Amino acid sequence: MITLKQIEKYYTLKGAKSYVLRHIDADIQKGEFVSIMGPSGAGKSTLLNIIGMLDEPTYGSYKFMDQELSSLSERKRIEIYRNHIGFVFQAYHLIDEMTVEENIEVPLHYKNISSSERKSRVADLLDRFQMVAKKDLFPHQLSGGQQQLVGIARALAPQPLLILADEPTGNLQSAQALQIMDLFRQLNKDEGITIVQVTHSEANAAYGNRILNLVDGVVTNNS
Amino acid sequence: MFRLNLKISLRNLWKNKGYTFINIGGLGLGLASCIILLLYVSYEWGYDKQAPDFEKTYLVYNHQQTSAGIFSHPTTPGAFAAEVKQNIPGVYRAARFGYPKDGLITEGQSSFRKTGVYVDPDFLKIQGYHFISGSASSALAQVNAVILTRSLAKSIFAEEDPIGKTVTLDKKDALMVTGVIEDLQKNTSITFDYLLPWSLLEKQDPFFKNQSWNNNFCMTLVQLESTDLFTKADAQVRQLYNKHESDKVSEFTLYPIAKWHLYNNFENGKQVGGKITQVKIFLLLAFCILLIACVNFMNLSTARSEKRGKEVGIRKTIGASKKALISQFLLESLLMSVCGMLLAIVCIELSLPYFNRLLGTGLEVNYNDLRYWVLLIGLTLFTGIVSGSYPAFYLSSFEPVIVLKGIGKSSKSAISVRQILVVSQFVFAVCLMICSIVIYQQLNFIKNKPVGYQKDQLVEIQVQGNMLKNAGRLMLTKDKLLQSGAAKQVSFFSMSITDGGNNTFDVRWPGKSANDRTLFDFRSTGYDLVATLGAEMIDGREFSPKHADSTNIIINSAAAKAMGLKKPVGSIINWGGTNLEIIGLVKDIVIQSPYKKVDPMIIYYNLEEVNYILVRLDSKIPVNAALQKINAVMESIEPGFPPVVKFADDNFEAKFQNEKVLGTIANWFGGFSIFISCLGLFGLALYMAEHRKKEVGIRKVLGANPIQILTLLNKDFMRLVGIANLIAFPLAYLIIQHWLEGYSYRIELTLIPFFIALVLSVCIALLTISMQSIKAVRANTVDALKYE
């Protein structure tokens, strides 16, 4: 599903190149649950952002579903991640002015999905995450775990093939973190959704079936 | 999507009430100012355009050669109208009309002092007045007819049908009401409460039957069959004078009536602008104020970008395209401008009566007129799009990676754009401030310029009824006024002391060259004129009962200069074939425009021709008491005629209407623009205080004192205001210098207005910002640092 070849990312500061990522080669198959691990500043998030097309590599080739991304226009790329990729963030990043229900619904608006279809999908997700009673609350009225649930529900709404999660439990207490990680495993096992997560917790990484170890922008261990 | 976005926008507005208030307040005030100015512009623009055929209607202008250049005025000989109608092809209608004149209309016991105009029957058709009863073709067919406007008819006859009823004019002529027309719009040049047939004027005063082409005493309207015929007709009209007279000193032209009001200045026979300049300034002002309000919105929206940035990032990662985001932000700004417009409409409705009183206009928003809706909706869209476009493009261009990481502090470029916007707002505000100060100075300068007589404590009483042409009665009045104690001096004058009037070329003096065409004003008077006016006698004496003065005259300095007389007093000159001796030389008296040089004037003694009694009030008596006494005297002498008493300085003030309007508008809207700019500054300061809370906290922990922090926070803003002043100074100098050059008597520009504007703008800005920075300084340090 994802093929990274010789991906490099660097910034030029006063003529000197400062590398974030070097010679990254990786393959991620459909249905995998991959954890990217590494110390702070290793370039984990940058790699995730490149996979999520929020950032561009300075050099190298990135194929998503056998399409070379650098050859695609901005519009096409948005089209791809709008249809196939869902994001989950450490800080949840819900829209503060929207209710739970509306937050889950927004991505569907951008996919031009009909009103009735939207309603039914949102209702399903609320039901599944047991948030029906909370659908009219605003993010700040929820606990962190609940907010992250909404974040995941939002990511799932467009029925993506791939979920990219950047430290999804970083802001959560351990009990809530467990709940979220269980949810990810379930999504991966039962629905076959490919998941790539960034984490620096061994425990969380263990949920996945493969770990990419990243140190100073270089993959040291791909097991 | 639209509904969701709308909902979110509303929630956003509600959540940030402070910003919403500042934004809507600014936009509302900007829109209200803009609309009021546009209403004023369209009011002026619509002058004399009410008649259905106004485009084919022309006013005849008369361009007369004088020694001081060509003198253009819309006065013609009486024979003109008939001549053009008969002899010039393409002329459909032509009509004479006189200057509006006050008269006393009496019905039974009630009298009304109202303004009337004598007109030819064709005048009604040319102007296309809407008849409520009667008809344009027959209403003025008879000599003793009168047409009333609806409101006059109502005040005289209440609900009765006025047609066929009789009223008397000045208690002499019995007139039958033959028509009632709709009240005139306020923006017409020819205003009246009733119309009288021209034939009545000829009956009242046979002079008006005069067929000579040398005597100009009426105005003439000409209507062509089509505007295409204008060039040909105008060419023929230009020949008319020479056809009848051999001295080649006059030329008539046709001038579109629609241009009469706005393009009313002529210099040497050429049209050189007029009120249109002012109207154009107002139009520009309207849009500048609106832009200032839009700039506010841009500033505040981009300043808050940190908050909105996160939302943009999230929306982008879940699939929003740039287009979708732009339309979302535009929707928000449109929503804001709709709210602003609603506020503006409220402001307009509340303030229009005030402006109408101030400007003497009849501005209104007519909600039944589609055009007003087009204007209102158009302005709303314009404001929404202009103010929303920059924030929309700016915000929607955020990169999710950057803003979601939380390091999305507003980038450098956005700050500089914002700074440029604030500076431009203040440049405009400071310019307006300087201009209004200079306009005020100029107005004061002209007002206080010596006019050659004492304006204060001088009243004019109009001569009416039996006093007219009755020297005995006038002298009796004078005695009674003096006895009453109200008056210190009393004299007479043929015209109001602040009005134009009769003039003549027909003056000869020893050594006059053959082609000298000096125009002399002439006025008749009684005894004690100079003493009453408080004017200055340079040489000789004024008319007095001790002498027989029927062939003596007084001249002013301008006349002495024009005639080049070395020793004017004692010289003999000839006027209209009569030899007259100059017995007095008086210093120039400004009777017409205080902006122009005083024309030569001849004053002679003749009580038969006076129309005004001049009274110098006794300053020992309170003005109100004096007026009461004067009224009592006048009522005892001419019962039934309500006395018309006016103060000379009030009349004089009326000459500055244009400048006053300009000054008032510059003041008000200058004030508004400063206020709007300050709202914007306030919003930015609000944001700044929030943004730098942490920095302030750290600095306080490190031992900075409040003054140092205050200085730090205010410094940046004050620099912007300073820069704005520097840019505004040369700009304002150029603009106001250009404006001043239109006046031959003008003040010298000094540094004072610039200094005042600088101090004021700095103080106002400092006050605005400090409200916020003081809050930031006094905030609890622990709270500030705990944050995040």
Please give the residue that has the higher pLDDT: either A197 or B697: A197
Model ipTM value? 0.82
Q: Return the axis-axis angle of helices B275-303 and B412-448, rounded to nearest 10°.
A: 150
How do strand B552-556 and strand B578-586 relate by DSSP bridges?
parallel
For chain B, positions 15-44, list CB contacts with chain A under 8 A: 15
- In this prediction, residue A137 carries a pLDDT of 94
Cβ contacts of B653 within 8 Å, gap of 6 or more: B447
Contacts of A105 in chain B (CB under 8 A): 4
Residue type, A217: G
Tell me the sheet residues that pair with B59.
B221, B255
- Residue B400: exposure state from Cβ atoms within 10 A (0-12, 13-18, ≥19): buried
How many whole angstroms separate alpha carbon B428 and alpha carbon B292? 8
Phi, psi of B704, rounded to the nearest 5 degrees: -75, 140
Q: What pTM value is reported for the model?
A: 0.83
Closest-CA distance of chain A to residue B7, Å = 9
Q: How confident is the model at residue B408 (pLDDT cuts 50, 70, 90)?
A: very low
Nearest to B319 among A93, A95, A110 (CB): A110
Cβ contacts of A122 within 8 Å, gap of 6 or more: A101, A104, A105, A108, A157
| pLDDT at position B35 over 50 | yes
pLDDT of A37-96, one tens digit each?
988 888 888 899 889 888 888 989 999 988 888 888 877 877 887 889 999 988 888 888
pLDDT of B348-360, one tens digit each?
999 999 989 888 8
Residue type, B442: Q
Phi, psi of A133, rounded to the nearest 5 degrees: -70, -20
- Residue A143: exposure state from Cβ atoms within 10 A (0-12, 13-18, ≥19): exposed
What does the DSSP assignment read for B339-396? HHHHHHHHHHHHHHHHHHHHHT------TT-HHHHHHHHHHHHHHHHHHHHHHHHHHH
How many whole angstroms separate alpha carbon B373 and alpha carbon B366? 9
Contacts of B15 in chain A (CB under 8 A): 97
**Domain boundaries, given as residue ranges, for chain A:** 2-222
Residue A204's H or E segment, with its range, is helix A202-205
A119–chain B Cβ distance below 8 A for any pair: no
- In this prediction, residue B164 carries a pLDDT of 92
How many whole angstroms separate alpha carbon A80 and alpha carbon A85? 7
How many whole angstroms separate alpha carbon B315 and alpha carbon B324? 10
Half-sphere exposure of B659 (CA within 13 A, CB side): 24
- CA B769 from chain center: how many Å? 37
Q: Which of A172-176, B218-222, B592-596 has the lowest mean pLDDT?
A: B592-596
**B94 contacts B220 by C-beta, under 8 angstroms:** yes
How do strand B166-169 and strand B91-97 relate by DSSP bridges?
unpaired
Architecture of the domain spanning A2-222? 3-Layer(aba) Sandwich (3.40)
B657: closest CA among B498, B501, B478, B529?
B498
B408–chain A Cβ distance below 8 A for any pair: no
Q: Across the A/B interface, how many CB contacts are shorter than 8 Å?
A: 63
Q: Distances in Å between the alpha carbon of B338 and those of B2, B382, B762?
A: 16, 11, 33
B402–chain A Cβ distance below 8 A for any pair: no
A103–chain B Cβ distance below 8 A for any pair: no
Pairwise CB contact (< 8 Å): A55 & B401: yes
Structure token digits, residue A32: 């995998």
Helix and strand element counts for chain B (H, E): 23, 26
pLDDT of B456-497, one tens digit each?
899 999 998 888 888 888 999 999 999 998 999 999 999 888
Please give the residue that has the higher pLDDT: either B786 or B267: B267
Pairwise CB contact (< 8 Å): B4 & A102: yes
According to DSSP, residue B218 is labeled: B
Q: Where does B67-128 show beta strands of DSSP type E?
A: 69-73, 91-97, 101-107, 110-119
How many whole angstroms separate alpha carbon B169 and alpha carbon B197? 13
How many whole angstroms separate alpha carbon B768 and alpha carbon B762? 10
How many whole angstroms separate alpha carbon B495 and alpha carbon B499? 7
Structure token digits, residue B10: 């509303």
pLDDT of A113-143, one tens digit each?
899 999 999 999 999 888 999 999 999 999 9
A14–chain B Cβ distance below 8 A for any pair: no
pLDDT of B709-729, one tens digit each?
888 888 888 898 999 999 999
| pLDDT at position B343 over 90 | yes
pLDDT of B72-96, one tens digit each?
989 999 999 999 999 999 999 999 9
Residue B335's H or E segment, with its range, is helix B322-359
Give percent above pLDDT 90 in chain B: 42
Q: How confident is the model at residue B415 (pLDDT cuts 50, 70, 90)?
A: low
Nearest to B400 among A54, A82, A86 (CB): A54
Q: How confident is the model at residue B413 (pLDDT cuts 50, 70, 90)?
A: low
Coil, strand, or helix at residue B255? strand
- Residue B604: exposure state from Cβ atoms within 10 A (0-12, 13-18, ≥19): buried
- In this prediction, residue B787 carries a pLDDT of 47
B317–chain A Cβ distance below 8 A for any pair: yes
**Start-to-end C-alpha separation, chain B:** 33
Phi, psi of B547, rounded to the nearest 5 degrees: -120, 160
| pLDDT at position B784 over 70 | no
How many whole angstroms separate alpha carbon B15 and alpha carbon B244? 81
How many whole angstroms separate alpha carbon B255 and alpha carbon B258? 9
How many whole angstroms separate alpha carbon A11 and alpha carbon B474? 101
B333: closest CA among B396, B383, B295?
B383
**B290 contacts B296 by C-beta, under 8 angstroms:** no
A97–chain B Cβ distance below 8 A for any pair: yes
B310–chain A Cβ distance below 8 A for any pair: yes
B411–chain A Cβ distance below 8 A for any pair: no
Please give the residue that has the higher pLDDT: either A221 or A170: A170
Q: What is the Rg, in whole angstroms, of the alpha carbon atoms belonging to chain A?
A: 18
For chain B, positions 318-347, list CB contacts with chain A under 8 A: 318-321, 324
- In this prediction, residue A223 carries a pLDDT of 64
Q: Where does B198-243 show beta strands of DSSP type E?
A: 219-224
